[in-house]
Amino acid sequence: MKRQKLVLLLIILGILVVQLNGTKPYELEVHAQGNTEDVEAELNKLLTSMPKLKGSLAGISIRDQSSGQVVYEQMAHTRLAPASNLKLLTAAAALSVLGSDYTFDTVIYTDGKLVNGVLSGDLYVKGKGDTTLLQSDLENIAKSLHDKGIKKINGSIIGDASWYDDVPYSIDLAWSDESTYYGAPVSGLTMSPDKEYDAGTILIKASPGANAGNPAKLTIKPSVSNLDIANRTSTVNKDGKEDIQSVRKHGEDSITIKGDIPVGSGATKSWVAIENPPELVLNVFQQALTNQGITWTGEVKEGITPELSTPIHVHKSLPLSKIVVPFLKLSNNTIGETLLKELGKVEKGEGSFEKGVAVLKEQMKKFGLDTSGMLIRDGSGISPIDLITANDLSTLLFCIQKEAWFSDYEKALPVSGNKDRMIGGTLRNRLQSENTLGKVKAKTGTLSAVSSLSGYVESKSGKSYIFSIMLNHLIDESSGKMMEDQIVELLASH
């Protein structure tokens, strides 16, 4: 009798444990129902046939897209460096918290009064994280001020970047990456040179001179006259080698363009991060004011907008639904770090990496992820210290499908084999077979010794899968891309 009571008690306790475990949000099946043995066997065979996986770490999680059930996993619960696959978390958190229609404002304030065309007081340009601000936008702002009747400013032009804190870089960014477009500084007051929106950079276009021996012709965007740029290039014979390089002196906005470019060859393009984005914005803006015939008596400098200042013009960025397109398709790091700081500013009152990460983790909990096992240092994935699991990524990609903003998220993912840069993105030259062309929507990721790919694939049979592949400790990241593609090709063939 005692034995029967003990068995009954154990059964009741077991039921309670199951019920308690079942209260987790977005609870997913661990094992898929139905016939997945073929996929599992083929994947195991494929992975064992990859010699370049030897000695590396491969975290793989594959789910049925409709049910979320696990089809295959290998080291799926092991923390690995995601590289730019971390952007999948940042984009989801930003769309969830801010919404698809959210915009980043650049506001013009004054603490003076306008009388007979003269503004007696300072003019403030307060940035609020608009990475899509272009030279043409600043020119339109200047025209708007002219149209309001401003002809002269008895005061200074002041740029205000205080919307975020004064930490411009991810804490783990390498010193040597600070002049690269992917390591550009984050600022509340910044701008981009073109519609790829690499904020905090300038675009340098080098074209060959008419004859060998001539320097290359340089075109700079945004076009401002006071950039410190040295042209050390040379045009060489048409059979020469092109090796144009743009180098910025660390800690300064002093840029040297050097190297050779053959006669008759096409132009080269390079994006170089600048040291001080607010200064660049002010340089472009003062030139725009001058072009409108507006003069001023004071300085052009950085500062803080007084609380009692009056807004006289508001420029709105593209909506977030459009900003996530270059963010995910082109893997734009500066947008990622800006979105992270904006999350901190909106939810915690502080535009910092730390507060942004806190908000991001809160959102991941909402989607059923166990954030206690994550290590997140930034919003772009450029930190080699970022650590998440393949299961985290596949869980997220399943759970967000029910969100109202998911269509914007999905549209922002690179599409396999599509040559349009703003559609195919970083997958435009990958997965181009009959089975995969246009059938894969996924985010790529690359760091030294790291390669990753996570997203959605539609198979030949019409069945769709969610997959996350994270490869670490690779000797050559490019081999990781080939292995990822083989795995996705296998899924697409079913």
Burial of 221 (0-12, 13-18, 19+ CB in 10 A): middle
Q: Where are the domains of the chain?
A: 37-101+321-492, 105-167+277-318, 201-273
What's the one-letter identity of residue 52? K
pLDDT value at residue 385: 97
Q: Calculate the dihedral angle through the C-alpha atoms of 428, 434, 435, 438, rounding to the nearest 10 degrees.
A: 40
pLDDT tens digits, residue range 345-399?
999 999 999 999 999 999 999 999 999 999 999 999 999 999 999 999 999 999 9
Q: According to the CATH classification, is domain 105-167+277-318 in 3.50.80.20?
A: yes
- Side-chain-side CA neighbours of 384 within 13 Å: the count stands at 8
Please tell me if the domain spanning 37-101+321-492 has the same topology as the one spanning 105-167+277-318.
no
Torsion over CA: 308, 313, 315, 316 (sign): positive
pLDDT value at residue 224: 81
Cβ pair 341, 353 in contact under 8 A? yes
Q: Which CATH superfamily is domain 37-101+321-492 in?
A: DD-peptidase/beta-lactamase superfamily (3.40.710.10)
Cβ pair 105, 317 in contact under 8 A? yes
* Distance between CA atoms of residues 272 and 208, nearest Å: 20
pLDDT tens digits, residue range 198-232?
999 999 999 999 999 999 999 999 988 678 899 99
The set of catalytic residues is 84, 87, 331
* Distance between CA atoms of residues 420 and 49, nearest Å: 34
Percentage with pLDDT > 70 across the chain: 92
pLDDT tens digits, residue range 307-344?
999 999 999 999 999 999 999 999 999 999 999 999 99
pLDDT tens digits, residue range 43-61?
999 999 999 999 999 999 9
